[in-house]
Amino acid sequence: MEAKDEQILRGDPPESPSGVTGKDTAGEAMDLEAEAGDPEAEEVEAGVEGFPRPCTSWERRAGPSSSEESQAFGSNDETDEHSFPLAELFPYICCTICKGFFIEATTITECLHTFCKSCIVKHFFYSNRCPNCNVVVHQTQPLYNIRLDRQLQDIVFKMIPHLEERERERMQSFYKERGLEVPKPVGPSPVASAKAPKQKKSPLAQSGFTIPSELDVSLVLEFVGAEEGIDNYKPLERKYVRVSGEATIHHVELFIRRKMELNPACQVDVVCGDHLLDRYQSLREVQNVMGEGALQDGLLVLHFGLVQPPRR
């Protein structure tokens, strides 16, 4: 048997043509790669002795996690519930006037800010602006532009335990202490409404509407003309207006300016009979002072003209 065959049977590595072993050949190859600037030269040097190259950080991260870790994460996703302090919702369920939870939540339609009904009604006794954003709710009757927010009130009652029961008990005790009848819940019951027979409405009844009692003054706005040099204004399309008697001549002026799109520098003079009206006079005061002579078919007639502002 030849020497080469005996070497193979013993398991010895074959000699290279230069007389060096495979171990030395691998070492020389690594030196050449390191000199060539291979970025993985340092990692490969760790495997020169025949050991596998250690995996890099991204290889370790990419490997599958242990079964214990996966089970732990799976159990958290299935059983945990998201919870947070109730105090984080206080800005959305508390009234900024009384600092308590909403009771009969009422929203302003102009800005969509919500308050307790009793709080916002009391506020409108001395102001016509929103307590939060200071926007004008209504020039004369801010109560026209508020609406009960029943959905929000239901949410508050469901979030705060026993709030609805306590409020109902307080209301009943309030009326009983004063000898008053406890008001019934608003709205008919579903059973009663289902049994009630349907009544056909006449076309005349469908087209009619009810005028609020607060709108107690009817106006006729007659345009008498404008001074020379005043132009670019629209005609007043509707001269018949029904407003509250608490409205002032200033409100009438603002209405005319908005409808006719007047220049801010233009001045509006409002006259009733032979009297130039002051902007702070209320319409009820004008009607009482001028008497029947200022009325035409029960309507208060106001004449207005457009003039240039006085030069200083």
CATH of the domain at 114: 3.30.40.10
Distance CA 102, CA 154 (A): 10
Q: What's residue 166's pLDDT?
A: 92
**Residues 296 and 228 reside in one and the same domain:** yes
- Residues 274-280 have a mean pLDDT of 86
Q: Which of 116, 135, 159 corresponds to the end of one domain?
A: 159
**pLDDT band, residue 195 (cuts 50/70/90):** low
Q: Lowest mean pLDDT of 200-204, 234-238, 241-245, 264-268, name the range.
A: 200-204
Dihedral-angle region of residue 223 (phi above 0 means left; psi in -120 to 50 means alpha; beta otherwise) = beta
User: In 3-state terms, what secondary structure has residue 48?
Assistant: coil
Q: Which of 130, 159, 188 corresponds to the end of one domain?
A: 159
Range of the domain at 40: 3-51
Alpha helices, DSSP H, located in the chain = 3-10, 22-35, 41-45, 57-62, 67-79, 90-93, 117-123, 150-159, 163-177, 190-195, 203-207, 249-260, 283-290
Q: What's residue 265's pLDDT?
A: 82
Per residue in 87-120, pLDDT (tens digit) is 888 899 999 999 999 999 999 988 999 999 999 9
Residue 72 included in any domain: no
Distance CA 88, CA 215 (A): 43
- Residues 148-176 have a mean pLDDT of 90
Instruction: Tell how far CA 106 is from the center of its chain.
Output: 15
**Residues 39 and 102 reside in one and the same domain:** no
Q: What's residue 152's pLDDT?
A: 92
User: In 3-state terms, what secondary structure has residue 128?
Assistant: coil
Residue 169 included in any domain: no
For the entire predicted model, the pTM comes to 0.40
- Residues 253-257 have a mean pLDDT of 90
CATH code at 292?
3.10.20.90
CA distances from 232 to 56, 78, 308, 309 (A): 79, 69, 14, 16
- Residues 212-220 have a mean pLDDT of 71
Q: What's residue 11's pLDDT?
A: 55
β partners of residue 146: 108
**pLDDT band, residue 45 (cuts 50/70/90):** very low
Number of domains composing the chain: 3
- Residues 18-44 have a mean pLDDT of 47
User: What percent of the chain clears pLDDT 70, i.e. is strictly above it?
Assistant: 63
Residue 207 included in any domain: no
**Would the pLDDT of 42 be above 50?**
no
Per residue in 67-80, pLDDT (tens digit) is 444 444 444 555 56
Q: Structure tokens of 114?
A: 């919500």
Residue 225 included in any domain: yes
User: What percent of the chain clears pLDDT 90, i.e. is strictly above it?
Assistant: 20
Residue 14 included in any domain: yes
